[in-house]
Amino acid sequence: MMTEKDRTDLTRKIIFEDGTVFRGYGFGSSSEKKLELVFNTSMAGYQEILSDPSYTGQAVVMTYTVIGNYGINDDDFETETPSLGALIVRDYTDEPSNFRCSRTLSEIMEKYDITGVCGIDTRLLTRRIRDYGSSRVMITDNSTPDAEALSALRGYSFPADQVRQVSTRKVYEVAPSGTEAFSVVAIDCGIKKNILRQLSAMGCRVTVVPYDSDPEFISSLSPDGLFISNGPGDPEDVMPAIDTVRRLHGRIPAFGICLGHQILALSYGARTYKLKFGHRGGNHPVRSLSTGRVDITSQNHSYAVEENSLKTVGLKVTHINILDNTVEGIEHVSDPSFGIQYHPESAPGPNDSIYLFRKFLGLMERRKS
């Protein structure tokens, strides 16, 4: 654990728009940040959370108390350049114990300018988010006057170009790990490495393209399937991807995960809305309406597809979140297109949701034959 001596010069605070202040100690970067505050209930996987591009512009409160105890390794990053805004924990451990550990969590956070706050009552903070919803906050040094911080926070508007920030700038390929069976174009809205690993392991050669790629360019690659990735922010801000997917309807099988699921729904004319505090964790139960089976799922999203908006656009609900009955899966009634709100590649089950990738492969196989 960090000692009191270590904490002496690192005092920080989190201030809300209503003037509420939480005071703690710093680790990682010391940068001042204005962010959306959310919580994650996972008991492990802080490295994957830290490096998930879907958290761009957010401060994540970890509900599990001890964070940093197994350090950081070189293999489990979900992106090359983490873009999480801040990490807030109860107890931070700066002396990790793990044979794979190469660096401490604080070292990585400092490298990628991710602000850390520890010593906070994270249970109280999580209950506030649960009761009042995700909030705008400012994380700053304790010496900053509250009135000054409040003025800066209330005058700040969050950017609407988060997908542009994390999407690839150039086209690149990921080779299949064995014999090539299918070619897939993946629209990168903030894609996680483990999705690419999963597709590669199942015999797909994946060509990753920027989020604003033209549909004619994608068609020129002659893919067997189209994948729309996860990513940060409001799906309605990603109009280039929505328009591209719309213009490719019915031409090639399409599979969307998380933000990609929302983009797919919007491309058919459905609507999305922002959840009160979102779904973030590794144990959300989701029911398949076709089988009645319940999967344990990994989730990270602020927005959901509006169920009533699906009725007139050719989409049907395939999966429902048992906790709040929100839409977790959709499928088009005639086009070979489907989407899933959660992250099947994260596999907390651990193999509950692998069938979704096999379903995508099945659609591509039928198109080829």
- Report pLDDT for 3: 43
Determine what percent of the chain falls in helix, strand and coil, rounding each to the nearest 5.
Answer: 30, 35, 40
Concatenated DSSP letters of 279-337: EEEEEEEEEETTT--EEEEEEEEEEEE-GGGGTTTTEEEEEEETTT--EEEEEESSSSE
Give the pairing of strands 337-340 and 254-257.
parallel
Other Cβ atoms less than 10 A from the Cβ of 194: the count is 18
| Separation in Å, CA 166 to CA 1, 158, 170, 193 | 33, 16, 12, 13
| 214: three-class secondary structure by DSSP | coil
Is 204 a residue of the active site? no
Distance CA 317, CA 322 (A): 14
Fold adopted by 162-368:
Rossmann fold (3.40.50)
The residue from 36, 110, 331, 345 that is catalytic is: 345
The per-residue pLDDT for 5 is 40
Q: Where in the chain is the domain with CATH 3.40.50.880?
A: 162-368
* Cα 82 to Cα 292: distance, rounded to the nearest angstrom: 37
d(CA 49, CA 87): 10
Active site residue 343: yes
Residue 72 tokens read as: 């950081």
CATH 3.50.30.20 in the chain is located at 4-154
Sign of CA dihedral 216, 220, 225, 231: negative
Give domain 4-154's CATH architecture: 3-Layer(bba) Sandwich (3.50)
pLDDT tens for the chain, 369 residues: list them. 444 445 555 589 999 999 999 999 999 999 999 999 999 999 999 999 999 999 999 999 999 999 999 999 999 999 999 999 999 999 999 999 999 999 999 999 999 999 999 999 999 999 999 999 999 999 999 999 999 999 999 988 888 999 999 999 999 999 999 999 999 999 999 999 999 999 999 999 999 999 999 999 999 999 999 999 999 999 999 999 999 999 999 999 999 999 999 999 999 999 999 999 999 999 999 999 999 999 999 999 999 999 999 999 999 999 999 999 999 999 999 999 999 999 999 876 667 788 999 999 999 999 988
pLDDT for 157: 87
Contact predicate 198/176, CB 8 Å:
no
Confidence at residue 196, expressed as pLDDT on a 0 to 100 scale: 97
Annotated catalytic residue within 204, 258, 261, 332? 258
* 328 tagged catalytic: no
